[in-house]
């Protein structure tokens, strides 16, 4: 029995739904085990959280620095950390972990600012440890099918992209009445420069480049603070231009009242187009210049190998966002295992890494700059 | 038995699917009859078309001028004309008809340019005859429900609008291989200044102001000629700003490969949002800040009076675009009938008229100017 | 200009939504004109209805007998009648019309009982005039695509059929509070032997044999009177057996609370299956043993010729039940025109005629008998 | 840190997708750990499977008897077993486990025959250990919302039920070409008396009684062996009668070509109806006698407490069948924990137990008997 990889979590404690999700997703593949964590900002609250996760109380630390230090000294240290804190801590935690010799799996956005992302990039490039970013939706099988389809050329040259990520949960100023998730997300000290654009706009942006395989070169964005008194943007519209001449539209909003989590990606090529919705993740719709519309279903035999590998269950058995998440963790675990044999083995191209991290932060920075100028800006 | 209103058609002859549609829609309500036409550019071809429509051969004219002249001289002249020509003729035909004392029902866009629209506006304002514009989709019952809903305030202040009108039929240069509809639409001499923006962008634009009841004040548009060699735009992305502070996105494309006729409107208010798709016209989806999503179905008792009046059949019996069209004709007929009693009676507010005509042409002109400047422009 | 075919209507007067629908559908193709009618049971009320239809007051008759007699004597008599009365009159009206030398287009069910259907069949078979049945849904283009698909063998041998027709409008005893449509439908004196089974069950049954092209040979039905005090069935479940060994399920209900007009047909073959819903009539879904699901859209180039002929508009422009209805009328008109040249020309196989009429009445009779025996009965 | 409950698996080894699913679902809630198993019929293959599950090799046993015996002797024995074998072993494994003092979580159908189910029932009723049945779909949050809704009376008296479970994967005789899942399912020696009716029909049947809260009292079923040479039914249609007077239709098929895993439940009450589909599990559609259709979405605040408790993630984040499964395991774990305090604490009513087990086997037996008689039979 090969041992499981040992994970330490930073953040993800009381009130954060993302902590348990990380644990479940990481452990789902059977190769990772949560064994340590700096879940909260006091030793006491961290220990309580650790109890909920049923980890050894001795490994529930009061700070990530304590965790890194103590784990390095153990005979059975963690293999990697997952960064599940508010954004302002992403850089320091990731940096110190890499420097301490631990691999890093980080929540997005990668850092609080673009400048920080460049610092992180330098660190990752000189580290022996891999760095990956939890663009969770990239783990969905049908997103991988979409990606494979674009790469295959079957849609022809890509001409137009429409991506939207619409939520309505911030349509009222709930950050002022004790909603913890809303609080830090709407506070620049914790969230960084971007509000909605950073929290979900980055997902939308990543999805486009990840699936279409083309690069954004210019952006013209409008960021708004729709709810009075809000310090960060809660709504964004943007037009995009791509290196290959394609154009695009990106909408992200957290004040789209009534929307739950509507991430939708459409890509139009010369020969056909694709359409995927996160809230119906097991289907991928293809439309063709002159033939019937097709719906691809998850886990079926006609999918590409990349897509098939991302499903656990037979067709018709819905898989959700946790399963998508687990796909990223499985790839990360596989990378760590391969590194034991070959320290130069790269992340698989399907797993978002430091390049996606820097692109995402550049996107936020460029969107804000475009909004400031009320004009097109180059990427 | 009151007599039926008599309609004369200009255009709509061989190769144009819109001619028969006008006739069917106009006659569906039982108050209008197609009795004359200048269907084509020669007397011979016009007569052939007239035969298809089973009208008196003597009333199938070789030109609209002939028709206006001859009909004025008859004891039983037409009451109004419908303008179903390519765009470049919309102004002269409408103008001369109004001057000859005939009411006008015109296809959109109202004219070839914004300047022409102002000329038309002056003529309409001094004419005793009504002028209406066939923004067909405005005749759908669920569009009227959406309009009533916005007006009622139930969605709260409107914050964001997303409208899209996507087609794929021009994704290849079919105008060069004899496709008549594609030919004139991609030729500025017949289509006017706008390509896609004029042909379908105007529908999308109209839908927004018609339903949301708020005015666009600024636009930032990107028009492209995606298919090489095309003279007019075939794809458009735009960001919008509204007088009330709301923002919006408008996409229109005729190179969105695989899309048939995807007109979709979403309006987000502070309290709720609505979602309507032309390809599923009998449903209207409402989403609320904190309550179940609702789907309103056509012809049901819980609809507003305006909406109910627009359905012919009981619930669950699909009605299509022709029935929507007939609603506009019914309102136009009603206006003509009321004018006989009261020459000052206005168009009903639900029937697009000269104001919508001018707004639509302004939209085209502003979109083109914004694209030229690559910047926001005022409306 | 060839003259239009002249139609006389029996029934369809005040309070019946079906009268105007018949008129619109008949006239939509431009080959038929409503010119006469016995719309109601008194001359006065018939004349009022005729005025609404803008027909010559002299041709609005107080009884169908008057109409048949008077029209025969005219130089420009009607060519055919449409029977839009409650069911109990279907036989006498159809019979007398045929005997008077008029063609007949009849609403379903064809008669009040199976015995009557046999009488009608004998009359039709010896008449020089054609008889057709308005199984409206058979006029939908996608139903014809489904029919062509089954006939083509692409689904393989048909193994299983599921058809359902669910409405909820009779879930309360509204026939006791003045709802005219509900009144006659729930009264055996007007409706005949079947309630729900006759009113909508026959549509479902017809759809199965029409599309699948296989014959029902046995039925095991449960009819219920769910609303207390109702004299006729308002709910039906049935199992079916087919001549080719396939089996099926048929559900029809008018007490399926909340359903509007949910007619859905699924046919499962050895190689693939199809799925069509009346409330979304422009789409046909195909599922295959091992390949992506397909959605066929109305009016597209890849449809069969039969299906394409049933669409008026380009793809993406919804057509509804009236357009479907008009397809039946167009085929009926075409038959009448061909009969002028060749008195032996048959109805096209796509237009339901006397055979479908008899099958439908047999279905009602067999369902009732099966329910009485609580057992399988042969057809 | 309270210890985790220890689970031992019987079956679920090589080639069975259900083994890993059990492990993931059981461990997802953080209270259960897979520590032992008799995964296959030889010690060698069981050890290999155990390695895949990363359990102690000493606890991968060659037979369930070995496991029960060895675990009883350990200081840290398993707390319960999960039975994931083909059906013919369900009874002996469950019985012996209960007798050995272990709790049992069993796959459905509970046993191979109805007689066996009665034996099991007697054992469960006299055992100190709880017994639960993995009707996985009962763990979906929206199924619980549906159940709560029926119990609340908001739909009014239930009048009609339509349930279907359609798959197409057995539309060809794949059991003859080495498909392991198909092999045992189509072999009565392993599957028991029912084929399709036992494998998925029981799910459909359970869903009806679980959600509607009414009991089936009569059934009229047709079972077929559609694929030539098959020994067990692969297709079933049935009519149902309920104690409260409602009627129903149940369809189950594994030869519904092109269907993946289409489990759908519709329940019609006097005041409204509900509609749920397993392949879109996070939505529940409600239709009302006279008001807009409603769609309830998973994890939202307006759901009942029972439903809310079954979601891990915020609204708009899809959860799938594994998460549903984990809900059952969480309830089972909770029961075991409560039993430590109070040996009499019952299973929660939302967790299927021995009663559902016996009902399911009775359903199979009655369906087969009805088919044999070609008649209605009592339950």
pLDDT digits (tens, 9 = 90+) for C102-141: 999 999 999 999 999 999 999 999 999 999 999 999 999 9
Using a CB-CB cut-off of 8 Å, the residues of chain B touching C55 are 1
First to last CA, chain B: 49
Range B5-137+326-357 has CATH code 3.40.50.720: yes
Coil, strand or helix at B251 = strand
Cis amide prior to D109 (ω within 30 degrees): yes
d(CA B340, CA B348): 15
Asked if A195 has any chain B CB less than 8 Å from its own CB, the reply is no
Per-residue pLDDT in tens (0 to 9) along chain D, 379 residues: 578 999 999 999 877 788 999 999 999 999 999 999 999 989 999 999 999 898 999 999 999 999 999 999 999 999 999 999 999 999 999 999 999 999 999 999 999 999 999 999 999 999 999 999 999 999 999 999 999 999 999 999 999 999 999 999 999 999 999 898 899 888 999 888 899 999 999 999 999 999 999 999 999 999 999 999 999 999 999 999 999 999 999 999 999 999 999 999 999 999 999 999 999 999 999 999 989 999 999 999 999 999 999 999 999 999 999 999 999 999 999 999 999 999 999 999 999 999 999 999 999 999 999 999 999 999 9
Mean pLDDT of chain B: 96
Coil, strand or helix at D360 = helix
CA atoms within 13 A on the CB side of A13: 24
Burial class of A334 by CB neighbour count within 10 A (0 to 12, 13 to 18, 19+): middle
Asked if D56 has any chain B CB less than 8 Å from its own CB, the reply is no
- Digit-coded pLDDT (tens) for B260-271: 999 999 999 999
Query: At C170, is the pLDDT very low, low, confident or very high (cuts 50, 70, 90)?
Result: very high
Q: How many residues does chain A have?
A: 379
Q: Do residue B295 and residue D290 have CB atoms under 8 angstroms apart? A: no
- Digit-coded pLDDT (tens) for B41-73: 899 999 999 998 989 999 999 999 999 999 999
- For residue D251, what are its two tokens? 């369809």
Which uninterrupted H or E stretch holds C288?
Answer: strand C283-288
A152 Cα to chain B: minimum distance (Å): 17
Range C5-137+326-352 has CATH code 3.30.420.310: no
Query: At B13, is the pLDDT very low, low, confident or very high (cuts 50, 70, 90)?
Result: confident
**Are the C-beta atoms of residues D262 and D277 closer than 8 Å to each other?**
yes
- CB within 8 Å of chain D, chain A residues 149-188: 167, 169
Q: Do residue D313 and residue A321 have CB atoms under 8 angstroms apart? A: yes
pLDDT at C15 over 80: no
Q: Do residue A261 and residue D2 have CB atoms under 8 angstroms apart? A: no
**Are the C-beta atoms of residues B261 and D258 closer than 8 Å to each other?**
no
Asked if C44 has any chain A CB less than 8 Å from its own CB, the reply is no
Which subunits sit against A, judged by 3+ Cβ pairs under 8 A?
B, C, D
CATH superfamily of A138-325+359-378: Dihydrodipicolinate Reductase; domain 2 (3.30.360.10)
d(CA D18, CA B108): 60
Q: Do residue A257 and residue B271 have CB atoms under 8 angstroms apart? A: yes
Task: Give the pLDDT of residue C18.
Answer: 86
Q: Which residue of B has its CA nearest to C29?
A: B24
Which uninterrupted H or E stretch holds C368?
Answer: helix C354-373
**Are the C-beta atoms of residues C251 and C219 closer than 8 Å to each other?**
no
d(CA A177, CA A197): 23
d(CA A360, CA D129): 54
CATH superfamily of D140-313+359-378: Dihydrodipicolinate Reductase; domain 2 (3.30.360.10)
d(CA C270, CA D255): 8
Q: Do residue A222 and residue B247 have CB atoms under 8 angstroms apart? A: yes
SS3 of C4-71: CEEEEEEECCCCCCHHHHHHHHHHHCCCEEEEEEECCCCHHHHHHHHHHCCCCHHHECCCHHHHHHHH
pLDDT-flagged residues of chain A (< 50): none
D11, β-bridge pairs: D84
Q: How far does Cα D90 stand from its chain's mean position? A: 13
Burial class of D179 by CB neighbour count within 10 A (0 to 12, 13 to 18, 19+): middle
A301 Cα to chain C: minimum distance (Å): 7
pLDDT at B212 over 80: yes
User: In this structure, what are the phi and psi dihedrals at residue B117, rounded to the nearest 5 degrees?
Assistant: -65, -35
- Statement: the pTM of the whole predicted model exceeds 0.80: yes
**Are the C-beta atoms of residues D86 and D184 closer than 8 Å to each other?**
yes
Coil, strand or helix at D330 = helix
Closest to C302 (Cβ–Cβ): which among A292, A297, A300?
A: A292
d(CA C289, CA A284): 18
For chain A, the structural domain boundaries read 5-137+326-350, 138-325+359-378
How far apart, in Å, are the Cα atoms of C328 and each of B188, C58, D69? Answer: 41, 28, 75
d(CA C370, CA C376): 6
Asked if D314 has any chain C CB less than 8 Å from its own CB, the reply is no
The 10 Å Cβ neighbour count of residue B17 is 12
d(CA B19, CA B86): 12
Asked if A249 has any chain B CB less than 8 Å from its own CB, the reply is yes
d(CA C165, CA C197): 10
From the list A175, A150, A173, the residue with the least C-alpha distance to A161 is A150
Q: Which residue of C has its CA nearest to D269?
A: C257
Q: How many residues does chain D have?
A: 379
Using a CB-CB cut-off of 8 Å, the residues of chain A touching C295 are 292-295
DSSP assignment of B17-36:
THHHHHHHHHHHTSSEEEEE
Strands, E assignment, D130-233: 131-133, 158-166, 216-224
Strands, E assignment, chain A: 5-11, 32-38, 80-84, 103-106, 131-133, 158-166, 216-224, 235-242, 247-253, 262-269, 272-277, 283-288, 291-297, 377-378
Task: Give the pLDDT of residue C144.
Answer: 98
Question: Which residues lie closer than 8 Å to B119 by C-beta, 6 or more apart?
Answer: B91, B95, B111
Cis amide prior to A109 (ω within 30 degrees): yes
**Are the C-beta atoms of residues D333 and D4 closer than 8 Å to each other?**
no
d(CA C29, CA C24): 9
User: In this structure, what are the phi and psi dihedrals at residue B287, rounded to the nearest 5 degrees?
Assistant: -125, 140
- For residue A239, what are its two tokens? 């037009």
CATH of domain A5-137+326-350: 3.40.50.720
How far apart, in Å, are the Cα atoms of A233 and each of A192, A227, A229, A325, B176? Answer: 11, 9, 11, 27, 47
Q: Are strands B32-38 and B5-11 parallel, antiparallel or unpaired?
A: parallel
Pick one of 2.30.30.40, 3.40.50.720, 3.50.50.60, 3.40.30.10 as the CATH number of D5-137+325-353: 3.40.50.720
**Are the C-beta atoms of residues B154 and B356 closer than 8 Å to each other?**
no
d(CA A66, CA B286): 50
Q: Do residue C322 and residue B313 have CB atoms under 8 angstroms apart? A: yes
**Are the C-beta atoms of residues A291 and C300 closer than 8 Å to each other?**
no
- Digit-coded pLDDT (tens) for C43-82: 999 999 999 898 999 999 999 999 999 999 999 999 999 9
Using a CB-CB cut-off of 8 Å, the residues of chain A touching C300 are 290, 292
Average pLDDT over residues B141-157: 98
d(CA D123, CA D91): 10
From the list C25, C33, C24, the residue with the least C-alpha distance to C56 is C33
């Amino acid at each position: 029995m090969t041992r499981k990889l040992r994970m330490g979590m930073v953040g993800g404690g009381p009130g954060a739904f993302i902590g348990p999700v990380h644990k479940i997703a990481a452990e789902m593949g059977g190769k990772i085990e949560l064994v340590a964590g700096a879940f909260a900002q006091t030793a006491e609250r961290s220990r309580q959280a650790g109890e909920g996760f049923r980890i050894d109380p001795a490994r529930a630390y009061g700070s990530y620095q304590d965790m890194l230090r103590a784990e390095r000294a153990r005979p059975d240290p963690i293999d990697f950390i997952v960064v599940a804190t508010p954004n302002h801590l992403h850089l320091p935690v990731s940096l110190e972990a890499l420097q301490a010799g631990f691999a890093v799996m980080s929540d997005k956005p990668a850092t609080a600012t673009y400048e920080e992302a460049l610092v992180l990039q330098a660190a990752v490039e000189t580290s022996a440890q891999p760095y990956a970013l939890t663009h969770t939706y990239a783990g969905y099988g049908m997103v991988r099918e979409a990606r494979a389809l674009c790469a295959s050329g079957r849609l022809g040259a890509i001409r137009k992209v429409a991506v939207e990520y619409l939520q309505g949960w911030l349509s009222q100023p709930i950050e002022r009445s004790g909603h913890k998730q809303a609080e830090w997300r709407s506070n620049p000290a914790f969230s960084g420069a971007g509000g909605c654009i950073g929290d979900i706009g980055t997902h939308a942006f990543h999805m486009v480049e990840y699936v279409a395989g083309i690069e954004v070169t210019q952006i013209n964005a409008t960021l708004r603070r729709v709810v009075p008194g809000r310090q960060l943007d809660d709504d964004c519209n943007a037009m995009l231009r791509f290196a290959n001449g394609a154009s695009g539209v990106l909408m992200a909003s957290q004040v789209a009242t009534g929307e739950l989590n509507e991430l939708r990606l459409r890509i139009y090529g010369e020969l056909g187009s694709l359409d995927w919705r996160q809230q119906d993740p097991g289907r991928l719709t293809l439309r063709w210049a002159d033939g019937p519309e097709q719906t691809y279903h998850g886990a079926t035999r006609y999918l590409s190998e990349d897509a098939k590998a991302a499903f656990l269950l037979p067709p018709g058995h819905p898989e959700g966002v946790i399963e998508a998440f687990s796909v990223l963790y499985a790839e990360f675990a596989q990378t760590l295992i391969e590194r034991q044999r070959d320290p130069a083995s790269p992340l698989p191209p399907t797993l978002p890494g430091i390049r996606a991290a820097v692109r995402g932060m550049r996107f936020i920075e460029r969107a804000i700059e475009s909004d400031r100028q009320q004009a097109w800006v180059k990427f």
